[in-house]
Amino acid sequence: MEYEEYIRLGLSGDAPLKLILCGDVQNARDSNIKAGVVSVVFATNDRALAEEKLHELTAANPNSYYMVYSVPLDVDLTKLPHYPSIEIAKSDLQ
C-alpha cells in the first residue's frame, strides 16, 4: 500500500479521534548517536482539521515522516490489530 492510501485510510476511519504521529531520526541528547523518535504531534475530532494540519506539518518539515490514525476512545489500543505507531529501522539510524 502506498503512503497516500494509508493517509486516506487514517483520515476516513470510523473512530472519532484523529492522531497525527511524527517519526524522526535525531541525535540523542548530549551525543552523536542517532535515535529514532516517534511523537504524537496533533489530536482532533475534526477530520478536515486533521487533514489540514497534516499537510501543514508535512510542508514545514519535509524530512520527517507523518502518519494519521483514526483512534477509538476508551479502548486498550494494544488489543487492536494495528495501533498508532511508526517503524524506524536500524538503517534509518545510520
Above 90 in pLDDT, residue 26? no
pLDDT at 27: 83
Place of cell 535515535: 35
- For residues 75 and 73, give the distance between their C-alpha atoms in angstroms, rounded to a whole number: 6
pLDDT at 61: 94
pTM: 0.88
- For residues 76 and 78, give the distance between their C-alpha atoms in angstroms, rounded to a whole number: 5
- For residues 92 and 35, give the distance between their C-alpha atoms in angstroms, rounded to a whole number: 9
Cell of 43: 489530536
